[in-house]
């Protein structure tokens, strides 16, 4: 037999029977129920329709619809956020790491100080793009982890002799190029070379002319150049498709080229930058037929920034 819990308030059942009952207050007069809505009497044999939902039922229905709508709105918003995160490049989203895409790590870059009163290249008072900074100071530094290239003969202050620079070209055209340098106002060549652990050998040259018009006449960087050991050169198609801001001011120009297949013992890529009175020539090579394009593209962008 189940015991019922003791009710704390009120007398025990046996005492409640003996205790006199208090007179109960008169019950308040009940409010008259609202008059029922008069419904038309259906004709004989017609189906009687169920009455409309009561107010409580309508509130429940409306609440259900509101929550359903809210769920759909938040669900759609969540889907939109997921789609937005999946579309951009991972490097565009802060906090998400990504594997290396082949770019090299360089020391912190800074443009060199100019002599007092000298104008920046392509400033309103220097529209010809004359570079007044030391030419060696405008050279892109070697990336971290690289080794200086002992095969590149560099003199004091990074100066490269004309004959040393011409060794990059085919022997049959060197004499003509040397004469053109003398005729077209070549002032100086500086260079820097290095090799990275991935086996890429890089040579970077800056050629300074007396004016930008002489730089325009230089034809030693482009698809028609005759490099030593290279049969044919073509425009780098990847550069044109790369998401790189290639807009440059008047008096400057960027182009990237590569050795056409079949290649020799080494694959070669070339970067060309014309900036006022300075012409940059970037050569990269590696044994075999595979030479990634990213390091050269990165170099072209950074070297152009130093010359702008």
3-state secondary structure string across 261-303: CCCCCEEEEEEEEEECCEEEEEEEEEECCCCCCHHHHHHHHHH
Q: What tokens were used for 201?
A: 């050998």
**Phi and psi, residue 216, nearest 5°:** -60, -30
Distance CA 79, CA 75 (A): 6
Residues 157-179 pLDDT 10s: 899 999 999 999 999 999 999 99
Choice among 35-44, 130-139, 192-201, 246-255 with the minimum mean pLDDT? 35-44
Residues 229-285 pLDDT 10s: 898 999 998 887 765 555 555 557 899 999 998 888 899 999 999 999 999 999 999
0.75 exceeded by pTM:
no
Q: What tokens were used for 196?
A: 């990275």
Q: Quote the Cα angle for 105-145-106, to 5°.
A: 25
Q: How confident is the model at residue 56 (pLDDT cuts 50, 70, 90)?
A: low
Q: Quick one: pLDDT at residue 249?
A: 55
CATH number of 136-307: 3.40.1000
Residues 185-220 pLDDT 10s: 999 999 999 999 999 999 999 999 999 989 999 999
Q: Quick one: pLDDT at residue 265?
A: 87
β-strand pairing of 186-195 with 147-148: antiparallel
β-strand pairing of 278-287 with 266-275: antiparallel
In the chain, the percentage of residues whose pLDDT exceeds 90 is 54
Does pLDDT of 61 surpass 90?
A: no
Q: Quick one: pLDDT at residue 237?
A: 85
Residue with tokens 């030419």: 135
Measured CA distances, 184 to 122, 130, 159, 218, 307 (Å): 21, 16, 19, 8, 21
Buried b / exposed e along 209-243 (16+ C-beta atoms within 10 A): beebebbeebebbeeebbbeebeebeebeebeeee
Nearest of 206, 194, 121 to residue 165 by alpha carbon: 206
Q: How confident is the model at residue 58 (pLDDT cuts 50, 70, 90)?
A: low
Reduced to 3 states (helix: H, G, I; strand: E, B; else coil), residue 45 is coil
Does pLDDT of 141 surpass 80?
A: yes
């Amino acid at each position: 037999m189940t015991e019922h819990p003791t009710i704390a308030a009120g007398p025990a059942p046996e005492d409640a029977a003996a205790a006199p009952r208090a007179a109960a207050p008169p019950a308040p007069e009940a409010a008259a129920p609202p008059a029922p809505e008069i419904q038309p009497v259906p004709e004989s044999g017609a189906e009687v329709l169920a009455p409309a939902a009561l107010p409580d039922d309508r509130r429940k229905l409306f609440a259900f619809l509101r929550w359903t709508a809210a769920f759909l709105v938040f669900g759609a918003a969540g889907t939109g956020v997921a789609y937005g995160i999946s579309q951009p490049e991972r490097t565009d989203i802060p906090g998400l790491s990504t594997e290396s895409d082949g770019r090299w790590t360089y020391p912190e870059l800074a443009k060199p100080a100019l002599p007092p009163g000298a104008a920046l290249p392509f400033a309103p008072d220097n529209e010809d793009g004359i570079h007044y900074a030391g030419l060696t100071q405008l050279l892109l530094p070697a990336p971290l982890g690289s080794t200086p290239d002992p095969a590149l003969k560099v003199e004091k202050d990074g100066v490269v002799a004309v004959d040393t620079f011409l060794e990059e070209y085919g022997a049959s055209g060197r004499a003509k190029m040397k004469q053109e340098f003398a005729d077209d106002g070549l002032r100086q060549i500086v260079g820097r070379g290095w090799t990275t652990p991935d086996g890429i050998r890089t040579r970077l040259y800056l050629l300074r002319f007396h004016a930008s018009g002489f730089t325009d006449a230089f034809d030693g960087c482009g698809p028609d150049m005759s490099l030593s050991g290279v049969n044919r050169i073509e425009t780098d198609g990847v550069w044109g498709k790369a998401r790189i801001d290639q807009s440059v001011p008047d008096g400057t120009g960027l182009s990237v080229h590569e050795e056409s297949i079949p290649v020799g013992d080494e694959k070669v890529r070339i970067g060309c930058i014309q900036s006022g009175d300075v012409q940059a020539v970037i050569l990269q090579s590696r044994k075999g037929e595979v030479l990634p394009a990213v390091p050269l593209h990165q170099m072209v962008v950074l070297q152009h920034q130093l010359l702008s």
